[in-house]
């Protein structure tokens, strides 16, 4: 067994009124830090018990008095009305009809009204300004084309901070609705700086100010009809950053004006899963710089008081993406990421910041995010915790973080001793894993994998939200699998490819649905992109395409890399063209068909494409030699540890890598890592049953037997 | 029972050497006409037995000596080479590599070479003529962009008539390969006219010259690799009509030149299932006029000899579509359609020609078109015949034809007495149905249904080929269902809609896949089309959309009629937009879920859309009120008699029609028709089991019991 300190690196949520419980669990879990949470306080007895103290601040919230006095300092957004059909020359649009009136209030001030627009959505044309007028909350449009559909785009204030709104409407909170200030408003910004300064003075016991992110929440739009309460949720959208002031500042800097349509986008908004327009790219950079500049000021205030500034990366985090260009300029002392999954561990671990901390789930709350019970009747928090830990463990073995912790109401753990024990066990495993990394990284295959999508490095590992919020996108399943594999992983954009980004890459992965940001959409109309990837593979690189990689209208193949992949997607344009017949080839590794998709529209472009798996006569997983390199295709990919193993086997088969150099179990249920500096092997059983297996190692092998879900560390 | 003549209206395929069999079956089946077939002859004993005689002629085939002497009179086509990847500045393309060298020979004469092109398919750009040269059967391209893909488009002669090629390669024929002449070649055209004239003189017993269509076969392209012997099959393509002479004539008339790319279309060709370019529309009209003019000359020759000219509508029928603008100008005396399905009966019955005749299946041949045995070991020709008859019967009850018949080798019926009896029974039912129509049409709902697609009237009822050749397209299932329903059916184009085509229409149907000719593709970017259909429904019309109706990129909804349908398709652009939740509504008629599709990408656009059926939480069949009209949506539609009944019920539910006015059985297995002039009810049991049901009639009802598959005629 490995030597490690059984204490430290653990942040405990304390709770006033439960002082003894707080101190008992701090001891049991080996905590060195105690924190408060949204809704809990720390009493002097806790604050002075010798632990470091994190204090949570949501900087833009809980300033209702200021917001009441300065309503124009509240945050805003563009919205589009639902469409109204013209039955004649004239129609009336009630802009906010269908939206939740406790969340939004029209901003019909002159600065805002100048940005309002009316659109003929049937003709996809803006209606001339002289053809509509706004009065008493309604827009009257004249000169309509009969039977066309019209919408209005408008600015409104968001009068209820969305996380508070969520907690009220989901958990039946009854307290005052909290509002949120926009730091772009000069008076609000002056107020917030002073407020933070005062706060630091008033909280001398706080070692770390734990900023519940920064200024702008992810976008969450509620409707008034309970058949669709939540109309729109985008965990990385920039729509909530907008205001007339922001638009004017943008225009002054960029020399062109953004319009409502840059945001509304035919009513679809510009969701993060879709490729952005050039205007949106400019706007994002503009906001990222603003957020970083303002955040730097807050961090400086915190530092002046001798405290550290950690940022909790969730909720109001838009513009401060940890892999963004300006993140490190903010000067945070730590990054705290709440996690359900391995990819989130890697996201946190790889960020350029001194301290990396994970907040585990479940949150100590009666119900979980999905509305299912956790610490209440019917809940099994210890099982939930173990599920998440299995995702995290394999990622932490690849790349460590500094700290872990929990959040919420500590008293809820009473009556759940299995949960208390489970956390103690995880904390113990976490500290062992940290110790493994102490003298050097685990061995990896000499394989650099680049995941290619629209956002590149900015959205490394994550697509936007947590796994379960984005699991309709195949890429998050790929990322989750990669998070625990012994390969080097980077995230590159299409621009990167055109600027030498494939240098040093062994395997390029493109995984997404036609038209989305992950597959790439219209970027595939660029022949230089296709040529560069063709060169890359022809000269010995490898390509893995998943679902609808490189799919784009306008070419002679739907998948623009079809000639490399050896498969194409029939979007109907192959009408009357007979597909190649084929026989299924023997797979060079064990397949796991449940991980794949079931697409009906695939066909071979080359009879020599090797079909490893077909469904109803349609290829679902293939290998194809191309030049000195090769390609693999999978119709889909659903994460599980078993699926991750198949991806790893595919990576090895594609590139010809053996696996022993990084250690490799002959059971698909077991993942291993080999730490050459100290000669330790760690073996993790992902199955809920006992497994015996042989692990290939550099120059030998080792037999290992693991209890269900066990992690075992062996000195070689 | 109804009075009818038990003899007549039947065309029997005679066979030399089987004279007694021929005359016996002529008597048993009540034939009044005897015909020859491809591969059979009629002996004098048959020719002089007192029957009218049809003689089959394939006008452009069986002139090998002339073709040898005039190789440039052979028909041609454009082909595209497979793509070649440039590894450097230069590459070589072998144009015909991958094609069947017994079907094609390069036309590299100067007239043809002028139309050859080389394309950079990666950049989607034509390569300048000075960058490639053709020598010794190969094209050398210089100045290539490295890693781009290049193709060559070229003209070639078709040196093996495709139906003959099919019979050789499928049925192991070993006779001389037949060639085919292009009537556009002046010498060939003069030769063909004289040949026909001579033929008429030499065949005095022939009453009817049965033209196995005319000049240009549907497009069938073979490859040299048996893993994809048949590369491309389009039953209505115009590609085989092309030649340098045709292209020059077109340019002279239209004032612009067609290029290879007008045909090659990125290598996909312009399949009939896809919307045509404007150039292709011009070219089709050009060819249709040419075909009609030349055909008229042939018909005149036949008439001069006192014979009639019937045309068999299959194989070389391109340009003579019976619903084309020029068909009736040809002056055919009859149209013979070989049929498997009800829609083909309606296609034939509705054509503007004096005599309508159906040639039933199975063809008297050892194997059927699909390669399965018919008149050979393992075959059940009586079952096949009954299957096809059940499709035809319901259509014939709606609209009659004049004649039916068979084709092939009569001697093969020996040993299949059940088949002989089955045909006798069908001929009997056919004659009863004809008698029903004698005094007037059956009652219908007062409902005019318009099927809307790209081709409109030109492709009434058929998409291109037979049912089984086009059954991947949902519309053929709809057409087959409509062929037996008591409603008025017409086929209209998008242009028709813009020119008052919806006047008098009660229900508009659009059924197809995104981008295909049946759904419509880019035509839906025309706001006037959307506005006109919106008007139509708002003012009381009804819309039925199936699969991906009105689907088109570029709008704020994927289905451009989503606002009418109450459902839309999520092509990914709804990312982050939550769908409306819904509860399934009670259906106003019995559902038949197996007939529907199973689409995962549908969502409501209106919470008041009534979902009749959902699968995995996704709506598959809906009703939606819109203005004074309404819409229905079905995710798919697979034909069966039961599915046809559901479509009929949907039509009635949508429009509020009762059904009794046309007669309506309360069993979904039974279809009925009411002939008011003579007061006959015909009831057809589509089920293979005994059914008792009550039939609602104008002013009353009637109980009917039917044996399995029975048709019963009752005098009211």
Q: Of the candidates A437, A468, A495, which is a domain's last residue?
A: A437
* Cα(A82)–Cα(A96) distance, integer angstroms: 9
For an interface test with A, which of B575, B585, B619 has the most A Cβ atoms less than 10 Å from its Cβ? B575
Please report which confidence band the pLDDT of residue B43 belongs to, taking 50, 70 and 90 as the band edges: very high
User: A576, B267: Cβ pair inside 8 Å?
Assistant: no
Residue B38's pLDDT is 80
Q: What is the dihedral of CA A249, A252, A256, A257, to 10 degrees?
A: 40
* Alpha carbons within 13 A on the beta-carbon side of B62: 10
User: B572, A230: Cβ pair inside 8 Å?
Assistant: no
Q: What is the dihedral of CA A260, A266, A269, A275, to 10 degrees?
A: -110
Q: Which residue of A has its CA nearest to B147?
A: A531
User: B227, A513: Cβ pair inside 8 Å?
Assistant: no
Q: Which residues of A, range 503-532, sit inside 8 Å of B by Cβ?
A: 513-516, 527, 530-532
Residue B367's pLDDT is 86
| Ramachandran region, residue A662 (left: φ > 0; alpha: ψ -120 to 50; beta: rest) | alpha
Residue B41's pLDDT is 86
Q: Which two tokens stand for residue B463?
A: 């998409």
Question: What is the per-residue pLDDT across B605-653, written as a single tens digit (0 to 9) for each?
Answer: 999 999 999 999 999 999 999 999 999 999 999 999 999 999 999 999 9
Please report which confidence band the pLDDT of residue B372 belongs to, taking 50, 70 and 90 as the band edges: confident
Residues A367 and A489 in one domain: no
For an interface test with A, which of B119, B576, B608 has the most A Cβ atoms less than 10 Å from its Cβ? B576
Q: Say if CB A347 and CB A324 are below 8 A apart.
A: no
Residues B164 and B255 in one domain: yes
CA B670 and chain centroid, separation:
27
Residue B167's pLDDT is 85
Residue B368 has pLDDT above 90, yes or no: no
User: A572, B514: Cβ pair inside 8 Å?
Assistant: yes
User: B232, A578: Cβ pair inside 8 Å?
Assistant: yes
Residues A48 and A84 in one domain: no
The verdict on residue B305 lying in a domain is no
* Cα(B238)–Cα(B268) distance, integer angstroms: 14
Q: Of the candidates B402, B437, B472, which is a domain's last residue?
A: B437
Q: Which residue of B has its CA nearest to A525?
A: B123
Asked if B556 is an interface residue toward chain A (Cβ–Cβ < 8 A), one would say yes
Dihedral sign from CA coordinates of B259, B265, B268, B272: negative
Q: Is the peptide bond before A565 cis (omega within 30 degrees of 0)?
A: no
Question: What is the per-residue pLDDT across B80-134, written as a single tens digit (0 to 9) for each?
Answer: 999 999 999 999 999 999 999 999 999 999 999 999 999 999 999 999 999 999 9
The verdict on residue A192 lying in a domain is no
Residues B225 and B198 in one domain: no
User: B146, A535: Cβ pair inside 8 Å?
Assistant: yes
pTM greater than the 0.95 cutoff: yes
How close B271 comes to chain A (CA, Å)?
A: 6
Residue B247's pLDDT is 98
> What amino acid positions of A are annotated as catalytic residues?
315
What is the radius of gyration, based on Cα positions, of chain B? 27
- Chain B residue numbers with beta carbons less than 8 Å from the beta carbon of A531 are 122, 145-148
> For residue A537, what is the enclosing H or E element?
helix A527-538
Q: Which residues share a beta bridge with A310? A: A210, A334
Q: Which two tokens stand for residue A554?
A: 């306008």
Q: Which residue of A has its CA nearest to B608?
A: A227
Instruction: Spell out the alpha helix ranges (H) of A59-205.
Output: 64-69, 110-113, 162-171, 186-202
Q: Within a 10 A sphere around the Cβ of A386, how many other Cβ atoms?
A: 18
- Chain A residue numbers with beta carbons less than 8 Å from the beta carbon of B513 are 572
Residues A349 and A264 in one domain: no
The verdict on residue A646 lying in a domain is yes
What is the maximum span of chain A, computed from C-alpha positions, in angstroms? 83
Residue A487 has pLDDT above 80, yes or no: yes
Q: Which residue of B has its CA nearest to A579?
A: B228
User: B266, A231: Cβ pair inside 8 Å?
Assistant: no
Of A87, A228, A556, the CB nearest to B121: A556
* Cα(B642)–Cα(B632) distance, integer angstroms: 18
Q: Within a 10 A sphere around the Cβ of B187, how many other Cβ atoms?
A: 13
How close B390 comes to chain A (CA, Å)?
A: 28
B653: Cβ contacts below 8 Å, ≥ 6 apart: B588, B589, B623, B632
Instruction: Please identify which residue in the block is written with the tokens 């092309």.
Output: B242
User: B228, A83: Cβ pair inside 8 Å?
Assistant: no
Residues B531 and B596 in one domain: yes
Mind giving me the DSSP string for A626-665?
A: ETTEEEEEES-----HHHHHHHHHHHHHHHT--SGGG-EE
CA A269 and chain centroid, separation:
19
B338: Cβ contacts below 8 Å, ≥ 6 apart: B312, B313, B314, B344, B358, B359, B360, B361, B363, B407
How close B705 comes to chain A (CA, Å)?
A: 41
The verdict on residue A334 lying in a domain is yes
Please report which confidence band the pLDDT of residue A202 belongs to, taking 50, 70 and 90 as the band edges: very high
Domain of residue B114, CATH code: 2.60.40.10
* Cα(B604)–Cα(B234) distance, integer angstroms: 36
* Cα(B381)–Cα(B361) distance, integer angstroms: 9
Question: What is the per-residue pLDDT across B436-489, written as a single tens digit (0 to 9) for each?
Answer: 999 999 999 999 999 999 999 999 999 999 999 999 999 999 999 999 999 999
- Chain A residue numbers with beta carbons less than 8 Å from the beta carbon of B531 are 122, 145-148
How close A535 comes to chain B (CA, Å)?
A: 6
Domain of residue A455, CATH code: 3.40.50.880
Asked if B172 is an interface residue toward chain A (Cβ–Cβ < 8 A), one would say no
User: A516, B85: Cβ pair inside 8 Å?
Assistant: no
What is the maximum span of chain B, computed from C-alpha positions, in angstroms? 83
Residue A372's pLDDT is 85
Residue A128's pLDDT is 98
Residue B369 has pLDDT above 80, yes or no: no
Residues A396 and A250 in one domain: no
Question: What is the per-residue pLDDT across A687-714, written as a single tens digit (0 to 9) for each?
Answer: 999 999 999 999 899 999 999 999 999 9
Asked if A553 is an interface residue toward chain B (Cβ–Cβ < 8 A), one would say yes
Residue B170 has pLDDT above 90, yes or no: no
CA B127 and chain centroid, separation:
37
B106: Cβ contacts below 8 Å, ≥ 6 apart: B95, B96, B137, B154, B155, B156, B157
Angle, helices B641-655/B381-398, rounded to nearest 10 degrees: 20
Residue B172's pLDDT is 82
* Cα(A343)–Cα(B475) distance, integer angstroms: 46
* Share of residues in chain B with pLDDT > 90 (%): 96
- Chain B residue numbers with beta carbons less than 8 Å from the beta carbon of A231 are 577-578
Q: Within a 10 A sphere around the Cβ of B364, how many other Cβ atoms?
A: 22
User: A274, B515: Cβ pair inside 8 Å?
Assistant: no
Asked if B534 is an interface residue toward chain A (Cβ–Cβ < 8 A), one would say yes
Please report which confidence band the pLDDT of residue A39 belongs to, taking 50, 70 and 90 as the band edges: confident
What's the average model confidence in pLDDT over B310-325? 94
Q: What is the dihedral of CA A372, A378, A383, A388, to 10 degrees?
A: 10
> For residue B288, what is the enclosing H or E element?
helix B278-304
Instruction: Please identify which residue in the block is written with the tokens 């017993």.
Output: B205
User: A534, B575: Cβ pair inside 8 Å?
Assistant: no
Q: How many residues can be counted in chain A? A: 716
How close A41 comes to chain B (CA, Å)?
A: 35
The verdict on residue A288 lying in a domain is no
Instruction: Please identify which residue in the block is written with the tokens 């909280």.
Output: A203
Q: Which residues of A, range 6-35, sit inside 8 Å of B by Cβ?
A: none
| Ramachandran region, residue B591 (left: φ > 0; alpha: ψ -120 to 50; beta: rest) | beta
* Share of residues in chain A with pLDDT > 90 (%): 96
> For residue A252, what is the enclosing H or E element?
helix A244-254
- Among A366-370, B161-165, B481-485, which stretch is predicted with the lowest mean pLDDT? A366-370
Dihedral sign from CA coordinates of A324, A395, A214, A384: positive
Q: Say if CB B156 and CB B107 are below 8 A apart.
A: yes
B490: Cβ contacts below 8 Å, ≥ 6 apart: B448, B449, B450, B451, B457, B460, B505
The verdict on residue B4 lying in a domain is no
Residue A170's pLDDT is 79
Of B234, B555, B577, the CB nearest to A231: B577
Instruction: Please identify which residue in the block is written with the tokens 């008033």.
Output: A202
Residue B171 has pLDDT above 80, yes or no: no
Residues A633 and A698 in one domain: no
Q: Which residue of A has its CA nearest to B559?
A: A122
Residues B275 and B397 in one domain: no
Residues A136 and A245 in one domain: yes
What's the average model confidence in pLDDT over B488-499? 98
Q: Which residues share a beta bridge with A544? A: A509, A632
Q: Which residues of B, range 135-154, sit inside 8 Å of A by Cβ?
A: 145-149, 151
Q: Of the candidates B282, B300, B327, which is a domain's last residue?
A: B282
Q: Say if CB B276 and CB B304 are below 8 A apart.
A: no
Question: What is the per-residue pLDDT across A238-271, written as a single tens digit (0 to 9) for each?
Answer: 999 999 999 999 999 999 999 999 999 999 999 9
The verdict on residue B540 lying in a domain is yes
In the sheet with B664-665, reading across from the earlier edge strand, the strands are B664-665, B691-697, B700-706
* Cα(A475)–Cα(A394) distance, integer angstroms: 18
For an interface test with A, which of B572, B581, B582, B628 has the most A Cβ atoms less than 10 Å from its Cβ? B572
Q: Which residue of A has its CA nearest to B273?
A: A575
CA A168 and chain centroid, separation:
25
Residues B181 and B57 in one domain: yes
- Burial letters A287-306, b for 16+ CB under 10 A, else e: bbbbbbebbeebbebbeeee
Query: How many Cβ contacts (< 8 angstroms) between chains A and B?
Result: 172
Asked if A4 is an interface residue toward chain B (Cβ–Cβ < 8 A), one would say no
Q: What are phi and psi of B222, to 5 degrees?
A: -95, 150
Residue A369 has pLDDT above 80, yes or no: no
Mean model confidence pLDDT for chain B: 96
Q: Say if CB B11 and CB B405 are below 8 A apart.
A: yes
The verdict on residue B427 lying in a domain is yes
Residue B169 has pLDDT above 90, yes or no: no
* Cα(A696)–Cα(A703) distance, integer angstroms: 9
Q: Both ends of chain B: CA-CA distance in Å?
A: 11
User: Whole domain around residue B204: which residue ranges?
Assistant: 10-63+177-212+310-437
Please report which confidence band the pLDDT of residue A610 belongs to, taking 50, 70 and 90 as the band edges: very high
Domain of residue B371, CATH code: 3.20.20.80
- Chain A residue numbers with beta carbons less than 8 Å from the beta carbon of B121 are 555-556
Please report which confidence band the pLDDT of residue A619 belongs to, taking 50, 70 and 90 as the band edges: very high
Of A122, A147, A578, the CB nearest to B230: A578
Please report which confidence band the pLDDT of residue A131 belongs to, taking 50, 70 and 90 as the band edges: very high
Residue A315's pLDDT is 84
Asked if A273 is an interface residue toward chain B (Cβ–Cβ < 8 A), one would say yes
Say whether B70 sits in a helix, a strand or coil. coil
- Burial letters B51-68, b for 16+ CB under 10 A, else e: bebbbbbbbbbbbeebbe
Residue B142 has pLDDT above 90, yes or no: yes
B519: Cβ contacts below 8 Å, ≥ 6 apart: B453, B510, B511, B512, B513, B547, B548, B549, B550, B551
Domain of residue A688, CATH code: 2.60.40.1180
Residues A469 and A552 in one domain: yes
Asked if B617 is an interface residue toward chain A (Cβ–Cβ < 8 A), one would say no
What's the average model confidence in pLDDT over A455-478? 97
Tally of domains within chain B: 4
Question: What is the per-residue pLDDT across A387-415, written as a single tens digit (0 to 9) for each?
Answer: 999 999 999 999 999 999 999 999 999 99
Q: Both ends of chain A: CA-CA distance in Å?
A: 11
Mean model confidence pLDDT for chain A: 96
Q: Which residues of B, range 233-272, sit inside 8 Å of A by Cβ?
A: 233-234, 237, 266-269, 271-272
What's the average model confidence in pLDDT over B313-323? 93
Of A227, A267, A554, the CB nearest to B581: A227
Residue B40's pLDDT is 83
Q: Say if CB B394 and CB B344 are below 8 A apart.
A: no
Residue A543's pLDDT is 98
Residue B280's pLDDT is 98
Say whether A193 sits in a helix, a strand or coil. helix
Q: What is the DSSP letter of B282?
A: H
Q: What are phi and psi of A337, to 5 degrees?
A: -120, 125
Q: Which residue of A has its CA nearest to B535?
A: A147
**Cα angle vertex B647, ends B641, B650, to 5°?**
145
Asked if A581 is an interface residue toward chain B (Cβ–Cβ < 8 A), one would say yes
- Chain B residue numbers with beta carbons less than 8 Å from the beta carbon of A579 are 228
Of A83, A121, A228, the CB nearest to B580: A228
Mind giving me the DSSP string for A271-324?
A: -TTSPPPHHHHHHHHHHHHHHHHHHHHHHHHHHHTT-EEEEE-SSS-TT--TTS
């Amino acid at each position: 067994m490995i030597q490690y300190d059984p204490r430290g690196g653990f942040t405990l949520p304390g709770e006033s009124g439960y002082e003894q419980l707080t101190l008992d669990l701090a001891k049991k879990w080996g905590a060195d830090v105690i924190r408060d949470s949204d809704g809990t306080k720390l009493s002097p007895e806790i604050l002075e018990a010798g632990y470091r103290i994190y204090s949570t601040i949501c900087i833009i919230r809980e300033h209702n008095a200021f917001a009441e006095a300065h309503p124009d300092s509240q945050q805003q957004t563009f919205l589009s009305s639902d469409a109204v059909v013209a039955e004649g020359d004239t129609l009336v649009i009630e802009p906010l009809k269908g939206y939740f009136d406790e969340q939004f209030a029209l901003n019909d001030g002159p600065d805002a009204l100048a940005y309002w627009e009316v659109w003929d959505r049937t003709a996809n044309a803006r209606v001339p300004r002289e053809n509509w007028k706004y009065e008493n909350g309604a827009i009257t449009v004249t000169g309509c084309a009969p039977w066309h559909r019209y919408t209005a785009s408008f600015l409104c204030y968001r009068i209820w901070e969305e996380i508070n709104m969520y907690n009220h409407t989901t958990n039946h909170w009854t307290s005052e609705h909290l509002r949120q200030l926009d730091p772009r408003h000069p008076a609000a910004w002056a107020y917030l700086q002073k407020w933070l300064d005062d706060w630091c003075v008033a909280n001398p016991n706080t070692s770390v100010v734990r900023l519940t992110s920064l200024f702008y929440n992810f976008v969450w739009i509620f409707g008034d009809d309970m058949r669709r309460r939540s109309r729109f949720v985008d965990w990385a959208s920039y729509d909530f950053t907008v205001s007339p002031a922001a638009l004017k500042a943008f225009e002054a800097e960029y020399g062109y004006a953004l319009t409502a349509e840059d945001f509304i986008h035919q009513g679809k908004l510009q969701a993060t899963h879709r490729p952005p327009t050039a205007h949106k790219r400019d706007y994002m950079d503009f906001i990222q710089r603003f957020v970083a500049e303002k955040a730097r000021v807050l961090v400086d205030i915190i530092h002046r008081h001798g405290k550290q500034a950690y940022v909790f990366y969730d909720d109001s985090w838009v513009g401060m993406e940890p892999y963004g260009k300006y993140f490190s300029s903010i000067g945070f002392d730590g990054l705290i990421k709440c996690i359900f999954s391995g990819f989130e561990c890697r996201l946190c671990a790889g960020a350029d910041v001194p301290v990396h901390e994970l907040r585990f789930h479940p949150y100590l709350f009666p119900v979980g995010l999905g509305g299912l019970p956790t610490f209440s009747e019917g809940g099994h928090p210890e099982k939930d915790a173990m599920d998440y830990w299995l995702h995290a463990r394999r990622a932490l073995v690849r790349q460590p973080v500094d700290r872990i912790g929990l959040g919420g109401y500590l008293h809820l753990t009473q009556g759940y001793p299995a949960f208390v024990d489970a956390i103690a066990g995880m904390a113990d495993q976490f500290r062992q894993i940290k110790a493994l990394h102490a003298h050097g990284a685990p061995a990896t295959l000499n394989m650099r994998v680049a995941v290619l999508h629209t956002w590149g490095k900015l959205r490394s590992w994550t697509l936007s939200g947590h796994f379960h919020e984005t699991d309709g996108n195949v890429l998050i399943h790929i990322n989750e699998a990669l998070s625990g594999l012994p390969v080097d992983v980077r995230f590159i954009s299409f621009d990167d490819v055109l600027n030498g980004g494939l240098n040093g890459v062994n395997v390029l992965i493109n995984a997404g649905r036609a038209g989305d940001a992950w597959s790439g959409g219209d970027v595939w109309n660029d022949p230089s992109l296709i040529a560069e990837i063709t060169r890359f593979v022809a000269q010995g690189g490898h390509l893995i395409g998943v679902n609808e990689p490189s799919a784009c209208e306008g070419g002679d193949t739907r998948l623009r890399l079809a000639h490399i992949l050896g498969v194409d997607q029939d979007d109907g344009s192959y009408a009357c063209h007979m597909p190649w017949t084929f026989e299924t080839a023997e797979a060079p590794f064990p397949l796991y068909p449940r991980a794949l998709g079931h697409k009906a529209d695939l066909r071979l472009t080359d009879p020599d494409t090797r079909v490893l798996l077909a469904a109803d006569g349609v290829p679902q997983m293939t290998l194809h030699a191309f030049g000195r390199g090769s390609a693999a295709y999978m119709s889909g990919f659903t994460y599980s540890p078993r699926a991750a193993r198949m991806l790893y086997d595919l990576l090895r088969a594609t590139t010809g890598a053996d696996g022993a150099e990084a250690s490799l179990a002959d059971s698909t249920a077991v993942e291993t890592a080999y730490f050459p500096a100290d000669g330790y092997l760690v073996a993790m059983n992902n199955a809920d049953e006992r497994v015996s297996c042989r692990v290939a190692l550099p120059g030998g092998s080792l037999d290992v037997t693991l209890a269900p879900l066990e992690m075992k560390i062996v000195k070689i």
